[in-house]
Amino acid sequence: MKIGRTLIAGLIVAGIATTAAVGDSHVDKATLAAIKARKAQMTLYNFNAGLLFGMAKGDIEYNAEAASAAAANLAAQAAMNQSRLWPAGSDTEALGIEVTRAKAAAWQSDSKAGEYGKALGMATVTMASAAGEGLEALRGAIGPIGKACTACHEDYRVPFN
């Protein structure tokens, strides 16, 4: 991972420099609103998935009703039309890492982001059926959710360090 870390460190420096030069006031308001909204989308993914992962790991006591509600929310969130959350040019290379950590590669023609999104959608539908059927059923459905999240973050999100 040494090369990766060096590249990312360079990207962070470049990102900060871009932010300093561009400044939020010069970024289109609509773009900033979309970035804020997609961060909100991620916060809600994390809030609902976090409960399910916590139960799967045994950190949170299993509760069928709470698990079902979180899974239904997660599936509803994943099924939403998210096209307005990802306008062209709303990437870290254009706006700086202080504004967004979404790599421009996510918008390229060979991007797998859409594929990962579909995988997440399917995984959440499975989870929505499984979550209320007991801890083992929940555990059996959790893997593909984590896999889809991780795949997209590893490929298209600049890490914090």
Site residues (vs a copy of itself, CB under 8 A): 33-34, 36-37, 39-41, 43-44, 47, 50-51, 66, 69-70, 72-73, 76-77, 79-81, 83-84
Residue 161: CB atoms within 10 A of its CB come to 6
CB of 1 to a copy of itself, least distance (A): 30
Instruction: Specify whether the CB–CB gap between 116 and 151 falls below 8 A.
Output: yes
CB of 40 to a copy of itself, least distance (A): 4
Q: Is 90 exposed, middle or buried (0-12, 13-18, 19+ CB in 10 A)?
A: buried
Between 34 and 95, CB nearer to a copy of itself: 34
CB of 16 to a copy of itself, least distance (A): 25
Task: Quote the CA–CA distance of 138 and 142 in Å, as a whole number.
Answer: 6
Between 7 and 40, CB nearer to a copy of itself: 40
CB of 52 to a copy of itself, least distance (A): 12
**Is the Cα torsion angle 55, 74, 152, 8 positive or negative in sign?**
negative
- Residue with tokens 């994943």, as numbered in its chain: 78
Between 36 and 57, CB nearer to a copy of itself: 36
